[in-house]
Amino acid sequence: MLYAFIVEDEQFAREELKYLLTETGDIEIIGESETMHEALWDINECQPDVVFLDIQLAKGNGMELAKQFKHMKKQPMIVFATAYDAYALDAFDLDAIDYIVKPIDGVRLRKTVDKLLVHAQFHRGKPQQEDIQPQGTKTIPVKDDDRMIIVQVDEIYYIGTENRQTYIKTAQHKYETDLLLYQILEKLGDDFLQVHRGYIVNLKQVSAIEPWLNRAYNLILKDGSKVPISRSYAKHVKQKLGIK
């Protein structure tokens, strides 16, 4: 079974593709989106095996969205499903598994799914490249009204997410940034640790840890902020803090 995400701004086309994919018996739809911004955020969160992607979106271009996938921890396979055949060469330059021209029929889609299954089987079990430890950056660009300002990394208490928006919290301010959580984490050094799907914390700013509901915890920071630690991260966080 492969887990799929659909990016398509036309509801009828999206529903038809969902139906055809489900009918194959080898695809489970775990997310869908109409816009680039929502899609990039949600794909990074749910980490699908494959993204079925339209090219001409009402808000954005599917080609530009696909270029962002290479920066993700889990890079999904790409299948373009579009009414235009002029972009096929560009699509395969992005390592797309297939390029389907609408209207899509079940027989053609079955061939695509078979390609995906073969590709997934081949790459399953392939050793992953060793993670490159980030050297750390000293500054992060953030929004402040109509200005872009530079925040020193040492001033950051934590980075969080809210309503598909990433923000950076310092002692005095809470700034928005266009960077996604994983993109920021890649830029930071060892003093920063992801403690929840939606939070990264500066360990130098942690003053205490307290138990919370269902074996979860809260980190209490030096400015009084509380940041949740999800159960899946708790063991690693306690190890980093030297807590047994």
Whether residue 60 contacts residue 35, with contact meaning beta carbons closer than 8 Å, is answered with yes
Nearest by Cα to 208 from 190, 191, 229: 229
Q: Tens-of-pLDDT digits for all 244 residues of the chain?
A: 899 999 999 999 999 999 999 999 999 999 999 988 889 889 988 899 999 999 988 778 888 999 888 888 788 999 999 887 777 777 778 888 999 989 999 999 999 999 899 888 876 654 444 444 445 567 787 877 767 777 888 899 999 998 888 899 998 899 888 788 887 887 888 899 999 989 999 999 999 998 877 777 899 999 999 999 988 888 888 888 887 6
Estimate to the nearest angstrom the gap between the alpha carbon of 43 and the chain centroid: 5
| Contacts with 241 (C-beta within 8 Å, 6 or more apart), sequence order | 203, 206, 209
Select 139-241's CATH number: 2.40.50.1020, 2.60.40.10, 3.60.15.10, 2.60.15.10.
2.40.50.1020
Q: Under CATH, what is the fold of the domain 2-123?
A: Rossmann fold (3.40.50)
pTM of the predicted model, to two decimals?
Answer: 0.58
Crossing angle between the packed helical segments 11-24 and 106-123, to the nearest 10 degrees? 60
Closest CA relative to residue 160, chosen from 143, 172, 145, 177 = 177
Structure tokens at 205: 């700013």
Residue 173: DSSP 8-state: -
Instruction: Give 3-state DSSP helix, strand, coil % of the chain, rounded to 5.
Output: 35, 35, 30
Could you give the residue range(s) of every CATH 2.40.50.1020 domain in the chain? 139-241
Task: Identify the pLDDT of residue 22.
Answer: 94
Q: Are 167 and 175 in contact, with CB atoms under 8 Å apart?
A: yes
Which residues of the chain are in CATH 3.40.50.2300 domains?
2-123
Give the residue ranges of DSSP H helices in the chain: 11-24, 36-46, 62-68, 88-93, 106-123, 181-187, 231-241
